[in-house]
Amino acid sequence: MSNQLIQPRTLKGFRDFLPEMMLPREALIEVCKRVYRSYGFAPIDTPTLELFEILTGKGSEETDRQMYHFVDQGERHVGMRFDLTVPLARFVAQHSAQLGMPFKRYHIATVWRGEAPQAGRYREFMQCDFDTIGTTSLTSDIETGLVIIDLMKALGFERFEVRINNRKVLNGFLEKFGLAERATAVLRAIDKLPKVGPKAIETELSEVAKLNLEQTAAVIEMAQLAGEPQLILSQMADLISGNPLGEQGCEELRAMFAAFDELGVGKHVRIDPSIARGLDYYTGTIFETFLLDKPEIGSVCSGGRYDNLAGLFTREQLPGIGASLGLDRLLAAMEMLGMLPAAKTPAQIMIANFRNEDLAHYLRLAALLRQAGFNVEVYPDSKKLGAQFKFADRRGFQGVIVAGPDELQSQQVQLKWLADSSQTLVSIANSGENLINELNAKLNRSGTEVKM
């Protein structure tokens, strides 16, 4: 061709997912769905494009600036969703009668933000949210914690910690000590204390934020609460005693942690008085989740309780609670921790193409193995076996089946296992019974178990 080629490339801040990245991503999403569904959360989806006025209704200046928006063919000002919360609010307001309350949904979908790209941050990324709408029952707060714990375990983590706080405690505390106007400075100080120590915080609070002695002491005491839930709760109760909102927050934390203990998941949760998660949105329980072997990557699952999801769209009061799994962050951590397999194919087995005349035999054998639950690829061309084995090795197949005409004649195949370079002659008589058993043994799974 004589025409000029177009250079194939992706936009800055965007990326392709090759099979070796996509396979673990899909596996992770499947685990999320399985866990969400096991609690009765149902999937929903909303359009990528929404009216600009709907997306900006609640947004901060920052999200508005980052949003991809344009005027469409019908002269409508539209935007690409930048999170799944605004679409959820619009969705629930629009369909609440049909949905019925309480309504539990999960939504796993792509969002876009035109922010400056940096290491590990993309302009297109996936969110993985679950929420319970329409109830103020603490059952849902407890359950949200249980979902996070089940999620982390199902993903293969044992060493993680769900850190929990309650905005009622924080707000009650600010109220009691007359600090509501200086909430930002106080929350920042509480957040920084573990890193910079109480002396630096004391100076900042008294000299910059102009807190008096009693206020400064109280903030430092709050920020230093640590230890077992029972201990923190009793000190917290002393600190906010007399403030009804704070006392209610304490009581909620107490009930939640009692339930976690009764359910045997106490070791995965702790009270963290330093968590605030912004000032505006959350009104009760708040969650963050840290990998104990990778705390520096930040929270991998965060969320909390809110009083009113959809005030912009409906007068109906819609309280709820939910959390969002940081899919990309978690995948990055799993890669660093060596938890991801390196294969570029979902198939375990390749059947070599010894000669085209026997193609029907290969295809029939492949069908048999698929019925037994294996993923099997038949090499399409009758290239030299060396080239086929090289392909199989690079692609990440675990076993290669080779069957020449003599072997097929006697209903046998060679099973070459790439990990240990072993080679076995296996019968394929009786619907491949021996071969299926051999493969099950090599892949270390029982015949009934279903692969991930």
- Among 175, 251, 377, 438, indicate the residue that binds a second copy (CB under 8 A): 377
**Of 92 and 240, which has the nearer Cβ to a second copy?**
92
Interactions with a second copy, residue window 409-438 (CB under 8 A): none
Count of Cβ atoms closer than 10 Å to residue 167 Cβ: 24
346 binds a second copy (CB under 8 A): yes
Residue 114 lies near a second copy (rule: CB under 8 A): yes
Other CB atoms within 10 A of residue 355 CB: 11
Kindly state whether residue 118 participates in binding a second copy, applying the rule CB under 8 A. Answer: no
Region near a second copy per CB under 8 A, out of 15-23, 195-203, 210-218, 242-250? 15-23
The two three-digit tokens of residue 127, written as one number: 């969110």
Report in angstroms how near the CB of residue 198 gets to a second copy at its nearest: 38
Helices (H), 116-265: 138-154, 167-176, 183-196, 198-203, 213-224, 229-240, 244-262
Give start and end residues of each alpha helix (H) in 303-428.
327-336, 359-371, 385-395, 405-409
Does residue 73 belong to the site contacting a second copy (CB under 8 A)? yes
> Apex CA 316: angle with CA 313 and CA 317, to 5°?
105
Looking at 89-97, 208-216, 234-242, 405-413, which segment touches a second copy (CB under 8 A)?
89-97
> Binding mask 292-331 vs a second copy (x if CB under 8 A, - otherwise)?
------------------xxxxxx----------------
Stretch that binds a second copy, among 132-140, 184-192, 267-275, 279-287 (CB under 8 A): 132-140
| 347 counts as binding a second copy under rule CB under 8 A | yes
- The answer for residues whose C-beta is within 8 angstroms of residue 447's C-beta and 6 or more apart is 372, 373, 436, 437, 440
Which of 31, 32, 84, 105 is in the footprint of a second copy by CB under 8 A?
Answer: 105
Is 233 one of the binding residues for a second copy (CB under 8 A)?
A: no
The H or E element containing residue 108 is strand 103-112
Applying CB under 8 A, does 70 fall inside the site for a second copy? yes
Shortest distance, CB of residue 177 to a second copy, whole angstroms?
29
Give backbone dihedrals phi and psi of 212, rounded to 5 degrees, phi first: -80, 180
Give backbone dihedrals phi and psi of 397, rounded to 5 degrees, phi first.
-65, 150
Q: Which stretch binds a second copy (CB under 8 A): 98-106, 159-167, 192-200, 420-428?
A: 98-106
Whole-angstrom distance, CA of residue 42 vs CA of residue 130: 9
Interface with a second copy, residue 146, by CB under 8 A: yes
Site string for a second copy, 24-43 (x = CB under 8 A): -xx------x---xxxxxxx
Select from 73-81, 159-167, 333-341, 433-441 the region that touches a second copy (CB under 8 A). Answer: 73-81
Q: Which stretch binds a second copy (CB under 8 A): 172-180, 223-231, 339-347, 432-440?
A: 339-347
d(CA 176, CA 45): 43
Q: Verify cis geometry, omega within 30 degrees of 0, for the bond prior to 102.
A: yes
Smallest distance, Å, CB 113 to a second copy? 10
- CB distance 412 to 427 below 8 Å: yes
C-alpha to C-alpha distance for 275 and 256, rounded to whole angstroms: 17
Closer residue to a second copy in complex, CB, 89/276: 89
Largest distance between two CA atoms of the chain: 93
State yes or no: residue 407 binds a second copy (CB under 8 A): no
Interacting residues with a second copy between 246 and 275 (CB under 8 A): 258-259, 262-263
Amino acid at 264: G
210/451 with CB nearer a second copy: 451
Instruction: Tell me if 63 contacts a second copy by CB under 8 A.
Output: no
Which helix or strand (DSSP H or E) is residue 79 part of?
strand 77-80
Q: Which is nearer to a second copy, 70 or 423 (CB)?
A: 70
Instruction: Find the length of the chain.
Output: 452
Q: Least distance in Å: CB of 327 to a second copy?
A: 12
Residue 76 binds a second copy (CB under 8 A): yes
* 12 interacts with a second copy by CB under 8 A: yes
Q: Is 408 in the site for a second copy (CB under 8 A)?
A: no
59 binds a second copy (CB under 8 A): no
Could you tell me how many residues of this chain bind a second copy (CB under 8 A)? 107
| Residue 65 near residue 52 (C-beta atoms within 8 A) | no
One DSSP character per residue, 274-321 reads T----SSS--SEEEEEEETT-GGG--SEEEEEES-S-TTT-SS---EE
Q: Name the segment binding a second copy (CB under 8 A); options: 51-59, 225-233, 288-296, 418-426.
A: 51-59
